[in-house]
């Protein structure tokens, strides 16, 4: 009987895992929400300009999607080793830059999720929120993953929940750990 229960649990877990839509960059994979529209680079540029009144830049390795009014971008970054900064240094720099501009930042913190450090910051320009994250550098490489969720102020709770889901669901590929 125990074997049958274990087999059933494994089967259900596998079915759930394969039913989720996942995507990834070269460094990480992550689950997408159920209500998601993957965007082409042009759709991303058009939607961002129309909905968030700012110019967007699409890079070749961007993963962009729209879910429940949230515009999400996730990308890998490679940094020259001489310009590599710790998350603590990045936090100080971002607080200075955002604090001196016309935006207002509401959070700037370093968190640990599944033994991996992330820098999270959120700022607003008028009614538009921007919730971003940076992973720590991966292994001994000069690479990390960054993401931003653009949203309108009424969607703030959805943006926070989505970020939490992204960070908890992020799985780093084995080859990035070397």
Q: What is the CATH number of the domain that holds 148?
A: 3.40.1000.10
Domain of residue 122: give its range: 22-177
Residue 3 confidence (pLDDT) above 60: no
- Establish if 8 belongs to a structural domain: no
Residue 174 confidence (pLDDT) above 70: no
Number of structural domains found in the chain: 1
Which alpha helices (H) appear in 67-131, and where do they start and end?
87-100
- Establish if 79 belongs to a structural domain: yes
- Kindly state the percentage of the chain with pLDDT values over 70: 75
- Establish if 57 belongs to a structural domain: yes
Residues whose CB is less than 8 angstroms from the CB of residue 85 and which lie 6 or more positions away in sequence, other chains included: 93
Which stretch of DSSP H or E encloses residue 137? none
Q: What pLDDT was estimated at residue 60?
A: 65
- For the stretch 20-32, pLDDT in tens is 344 556 677 777 7
d(CA 142, CA 176): 10
- For the stretch 25-82, pLDDT in tens is 667 777 777 788 888 888 888 888 888 877 677 776 688 889 999 999 888 877 776 7
- Establish if 152 belongs to a structural domain: yes
- Establish if 11 belongs to a structural domain: no
- Establish if 105 belongs to a structural domain: yes
Residue range 5-20: mean pLDDT, rounded: 28
């Amino acid at each position: 009987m125990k074997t049958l229960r274990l087999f059933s649990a494994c089967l259900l877990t596998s079915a759930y895992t394969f039913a989720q839509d996942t995507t990834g960059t070269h460094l990480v994979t992550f689950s997408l929400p159920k209500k998601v529209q993957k965007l082409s680079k042009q759709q991303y540029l058009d939607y961002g300009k129309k909905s968030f009144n700012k110019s967007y830049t699409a890079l070749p390795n961007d993963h962009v999607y729209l879910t429940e009014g949230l515009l999400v971008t996730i990308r890998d970054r490679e940094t020259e080793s001489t310009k590599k900064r710790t998350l603590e240094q990045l936090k100080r720099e971002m607080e200075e830059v955002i604090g001196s501009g016309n935006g207002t930042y509401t959070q700037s913190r370093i968190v640990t999720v599944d033994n991996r450090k992330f820098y999270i910051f959120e700022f607003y320009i008028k009614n538009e929120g921007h919730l971003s994250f940076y992973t720590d550098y991966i292994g001994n490489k000069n690479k990390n993953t960054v993401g931003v969720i653009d949203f309108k102020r009424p969607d703030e709770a959805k943006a926070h929940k989505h970020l939490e889901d992204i960070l908890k669901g992020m799985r780093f590929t084995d080859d990035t750990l070397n």
